[in-house]
Structure 1
Amino acid sequence: MDTFKKDKKSKWRQRIGYGSSDFACNLIWQVISLYLLYFYTDVMHLNAAAVSVMFLVTKIFDGFTDLAVGILIDRTNTKWGKSRPWIFAGAVPFAVTAFLAFSVPDISQKGMLIYAYVTYMLLSLAYTIVNIPMASILPSLTADSQERTNLAASRVFFSYIGSTVVSAFALRMVDRFGNGNEAVGFRIVMMIFGIAGCLVFFFCFYNTKERVRINEEKVSLKASINCLIHNKPWLLFAANIIWFFGGFIIQAGAIIYYFTYNLNNKELSSVVATITTLIPVATNLSVPFLARMTSKRNLMITGSVFHGAGLLIVFAGGTSVPVVIAGVTVAALGYGLKGSMHFAIQPDPVDYGEWKSGVNIAGTMSAVNGFIGKVGMAVASSVAAALLASSGYVANAQVQTNSALYAISAMYIWIPLATNILTIITFLMYDLDKKLPQINKELEERRLAER
C-alpha cells in the first residue's frame, strides 16, 4: 500500500519529478523527430537512400539494446530501487551523444556516413538507458490506478512542454547561434539542450521513489516471453505502439518538408510544430478529469478520431493558412489525447500480467515495448527517407517534382491517417479497463500477504 496516499506535497513532488524526465527526453527527442532527417539530407548532405538504410539498421540495433536494458532493470536491486539508478546513470551520456550526433565533422562523405551511423547508435543507446526506466518505474511509484493516470498525465504534460520549447525555438536558435551556418547552429543548440536535459534527469532522480514492492522473483527470458504472449491487453497495446510511434515519426519528420515545398511557406513549419506540441498540453491537463468520466480505451479511440479528422482538414485546406491552422489544431487535440492515454495505459498490462502469472516483468515488458516502438520507428524513418529518395526529392531545390510532393503529402497526411484508423480498430478489442479495479484489489491483497 502506498505510504503517501494522503500526503499531497509528496504526491506533487513525485508527479513533477517523474514528469520532468520526459521534458528532458523531449529536448533531444523532438529535435530528432523534427529535424534529424533534414539535418542528414540538407546539412550533412548525405544521400537520402543511404539515410533510409541507416535508419533501418540503427533502429533495429536500438531495439535489441532496449531488450537488454529491460532485462538488466528486472535484475537490478539497489537501495534506490530497480529503475531509478538507470535514469541517473544515463543522464550525462545522453547529453554528450546528443551533441556528437548533431555535429558535422570535416571529413569525406563516406566518413560522414560512418560518423552518422556511430553517433546515432550511441545516442539511441543513451536514450534507451534513460527512457526504458521511465516506463518500468511507473508501477513501482504507486499502486493506485488514478494516481498512475495522474503521473502519466504529468509525464505527457512535461513531454509536450519540452517538445514545444524545441518546436518554438530550436530553428530560431540554430539561425541565431549559427549566423547562417546550420551545422554550427545545430551543434550549439544541442549542447545547450543536452546540458539542460542532464540536469533535469538528476532532478527526476532525486524527486521520485519506488514505493510499491513488486515480486522480485528471477524470471528467465523464456518465461517472460511466455507471460507476454498470453497477455491479451499487452498484445493489443503492443500492436498500437507501431501505429502510434510509426505514424508520429513519419508525420513529425515531414513537417518541415510539407510546409517548405508543398505549401511554399517554410516559416509556417515552426508555427505548426509549435501548435502540434503546445495544444496537447491543454488536452493533457484535462486527462485526469476525463479519465473519471470514461475509460482509457474510449479516450484513445476519441483521440484517434480527432487526429485523423484534423489531417483531413489540413489536406482540404490546401494553401489556406487559416484552414490549415484549424486542421493542425484539431489534429493536435487528438494527438494530445492519444499520447496521454498511451502512457496512462502502459502500466495496466503489467498489472494484468502479474495478476495472471504471479510475476512482475515491468522492466522486460517496457523493454519489449521499446523494442517494438524502435522497430516501428525504424520502418517509419526508413520509409520516409526511401519515399524522398525514390520520388526524386532534391535537397534545397526551389521547386520539387510532383512525385516528390506526393511523397511528402503521403508522409504528412495519408500514412498518419492510416495509423489512426488502425489504432481505432485495435482498441475496439481492448477490454482491460473494466477488469482493472478488481485486478488491482487482488494484487494489493497479495502484496500485503507477502510482507
Structure 2
Amino acid sequence: MNSTSQKLSVTEKVGYSLGDLSANLIFQTLVTFLAFFYTDVYRIPAGSAATIIFIVGILGAFVFTPIMGLIADRTHTRWGKFRPWVLWTALPFGALSLLAFSTPNLGEQGKITYALATYSLLVLVYVANNLPYSALSGVLTGSMEQRNSLSSYRFVAVMVAQFIIQVLLLPLVLILGNGDKARGFQHTMALFAIVGTVFFLVTFFTTRERIVPTAGQNSSVREDLADLAKNRPWQIMLLVTVLIFVNLALKGGTYIYYFKYYLSEPTLASFLDQIGFNGLIAGLNRLLAGMGLTGFRWPQDAPTSAFSLFNALGIIFMIVGIGFSKRLADRFGKRDVFAGALFVSTLFLLAFYFYAPGAIGLIVVSYIFHGFFYGITIPLLWAMIADVADYSEWKNHRRATAIIFSAMLCGLKFGLSLGGALVAGILAHYGYSADLSVQSPEVVNGIRLTVSLFCSIPFLLGVVLMFFYKIDKSAELRIEHELGERRLAAGASA
C-alpha cells in the first residue's frame, strides 16, 4: 500500500468532522423524533409507524449495511474508495431528508406508503453515505496518533449535532413553523438539508485517502469474511459496540421516567428557579418577541424541563471529555484509557440508585461526571475499530476497511434496537401503566434499577472484554511501524 505524509492538517480534521455533523443532524432526528413526527405530526397510526420504523431499521442494519460494505471496499476511482461516496450521496441525502419529513395529504394508506418509501430511500442513502464516511477515517492516515486526534474532532461534531437535536430541535420547529409543527419540521429539515449538503462537499474536497491498496491486494468476498472470522480484536470490538449502544438506548429511554415518576417535582421546579434557568428562558422569550419571532417553546412542566437541561449538561461535558481523549490515548494507549474511563463513568451511573428523590444537585453532578468520563471513550471506540482494520491488514496482508466498519454499524443498530426493546420490556415486567399518574413502588424501584444497575451491566461487560483485547499501546506502535514499512516498500516497487 502506498503512503505519503501521515500528518493531518487542522483543515482536514475539521473538514472530515463536518461530515459527521451533517449526518447526525439527520440521524439524531430519526432516532429521537421520527416516531413522534409520524404519529403526532403526519398523523399515521401508531402501529403502522412502528412497523415502518422496524422494517426499515432491519433492512438498514442487516441488508443495506453489509452490502454497502462489500461495494465500498471494491470501489476504485481517481478519488479513492470512500471519498466519492460522500460526494455522490450529498445531494440525494439532503433531498430525501426533506422529503421524509414532508407531509403531503395522501389519505391514510397513501401516507403510510409515502412514509415507507421515503424512509427506506433515506436509510439506503444514509448507509451509502455514512458507511464509506466512517471507513474513510481508517484510510486518511496510518498514524494511530493522528487517528486519535481525528476521532476527537469528529465526535465533538457529533456531540454538537446531538445537542442541536435533543435540546433545540423542537423549539426550532415551533419557531420556523410559527407554531405549526408540520411546516416547522419541513422548514427545519430544509435548513438541515442545505447545511448538510454543503458540509458533505467540504468533507470531500478537504480530505485525501493516503492508505491506498496496491493492485496485488484485491480479495474476494469469501476471503474478507474468512479474515473477519479469525480476527479476535474485531470480534471483541463488535461485542463492545453492541454493549455500548444497548446502554445508550436503555439509559436514554429510561431517564425521562426517572424524572417523571421518581424525582420530586416541587424540588425540580425549585432547582430550576434557584439556578436561574427559568429566568433565562423568560428573558430569551422577551428578546424573540421583541424581534417579532415566536417564543422559545421550552417544556413547561418541571420534570420535562429539567430533563432537557439534564441532557444538555450531559452533552456539554461529554464534549469536554472528548477534549482529553487524544492526549490520554497518546500517552497510555486507547485500550487502557477506554477501559479505565468506561469503568469510572459506570460508577457514576451506579450512584443513581442511592439518591433520594430530592437530591437533584447530586444527580446533576453525577451525570456531569458520568458524561465527562464517557466522553473520553467516545472517539476511542471508533479509533479502535480503525485499528482493527490495521490489525487485519497486518495479519492477513489484505485490507478490508469498509466490511469491518459495516459489521460494527450492524452491531450499533442491533444494540440500539435491543436496548430500546429492553426499556419497554423492563417497564412491562415491573407493571408500568401509562394511564397512571403515580406508579406503584415496584415500578419506581424498577426504574431506579434500570437507570443505575441495569444500565451499568453493559458497560461493565465492555470493561471486562478489554482484558481480552490485545491491541495495547505497544501493539499499536508495532503494527503502525510494520505496516508503514510495508507500504513504503510497496510504493517503491510500484
Cα contact 1:2–1:211 (8 A) shared by 2: yes
1:17 corresponds in structure 2 to 15
Name the CA distance, whole Å, in 2 between partners of 1:118 and 1:414: 40
Tell me the CA shift for residue 382 of structure 1. Answer: 4.2
Q: 1:187 to 1:327 in 2, by over 3 A?
A: farther
Task: String of CA shifts for 1:189-229, please: whole Å, max 9, x gaps.
Answer: 22222221221111111110012223453322211110001
Name the CA distance, whole Å, in 1 between partners of 2:174 and 2:450: 26
1:439 corresponds in structure 2 to 479
Cα contact 2:93–2:126 (8 A) shared by 1: yes
Cα contact 1:83–1:133 (8 A) shared by 2: yes
1:86 corresponds in structure 2 to 85
Q: State the one-letter code of the partner of 2:487.
A: R
Q: State the one-letter code of the partner of 2:74.
A: R
* Partner SS state of residue 76, structure 1: coil
1:296 corresponds in structure 2 to 334
Q: 1:38 to 1:258 in 2, by over 3 A?
A: farther
Name the CA distance, whole Å, in 2 between partners of 1:356 and 1:181: 57
- Mapping of residues 322-401 of structure 1, within 5 Å: 322-384=361-423, 394=434, 399=437, 401=439
Tell me the CA shift for residue 406 of structure 1. Answer: 6.8
Q: 1:113 to 1:319 in 2, by over 3 A?
A: farther
Q: 1:18 to 1:117 in 2, by over 3 A?
A: same
Tell me the CA shift for residue 387 of structure 1. Answer: 6.1
1:223 corresponds in structure 2 to 223
1:57 corresponds in structure 2 to 55
* Partner SS state of residue 138, structure 2: helix
Gaps of 5+ in 1: none
Gaps of 5+ in 2: 266-302
Name the CA distance, whole Å, in 2 between partners of 1:322 and 1:115: 46
| Aligned with residue 425 of structure 1, among 456, 460, 464 | 464
2:317 corresponds in structure 1 to 279
* Partner SS state of residue 366, structure 1: helix
Task: String of CA shifts for 1:56-109, please: whole Å, max 9, x gaps.
Answer: 432221022111111111111111111001111122222233233334454555
Q: State the one-letter code of the partner of 1:218.
A: N
What is the aligned-residue RMSD (CA, Å)? Answer: 2.9
Q: 1:79 to 1:393 in 2, by over 3 A?
A: farther
Q: 1:218 to 1:15 in 2, by over 3 A?
A: same
- Mapping of residues 135-174 of structure 1, within 5 Å: 135-174=134-173
Tell me the CA shift for residue 245 of structure 1. Answer: 2.0
* Partner SS state of residue 9, structure 2: helix
Task: String of CA shifts for 1:20-39, please: whole Å, max 9, x gaps.
Answer: 21111222222233333444
Q: State the one-letter code of the partner of 2:211.
A: V
Q: 1:333 to 1:428 in 2, by over 3 A?
A: same
Aligned length: 446
Determine if the alignment matches structure 1 residue 269 to structure 2 residue 307: yes
1:213 corresponds in structure 2 to 212
Q: Report percent identity of matched pairs.
A: 26
Name the CA distance, whole Å, in 1 between partners of 2:446 and 2:35: 15
* Partner SS state of residue 139, structure 2: helix
Name the CA distance, whole Å, in 1 between partners of 2:486 and 2:123: 38
Cα contact 1:34–1:256 (8 A) shared by 2: no
Cα contact 2:80–2:212 (8 A) shared by 1: no
Q: 1:87 to 1:333 in 2, by over 3 A?
A: same
Task: String of CA shifts for 1:412-451, please: whole Å, max 9, x gaps.
Answer: 5554322212211211211112322112222122222222
| Aligned with residue 29 of structure 1, among 27, 30, 48 | 27
Name the CA distance, whole Å, in 2 between partners of 1:408 and 1:44: 31
Name the CA distance, whole Å, in 2 between partners of 1:385 and 1:211: 46
Q: 1:195 to 1:383 in 2, by over 3 A?
A: farther
Select between 372-381 and 13-22 the one with higher mean Cα deviation. Answer: 372-381
Select between 355-364 and 272-281 the one with higher mean Cα deviation. Answer: 272-281
Cα contact 2:351–2:452 (8 A) shared by 1: no
Task: String of CA shifts for 1:119-154, please: whole Å, max 9, x gaps.
Answer: 333222222122111221122211111111111111
Q: 1:442 to 1:232 in 2, by over 3 A?
A: same
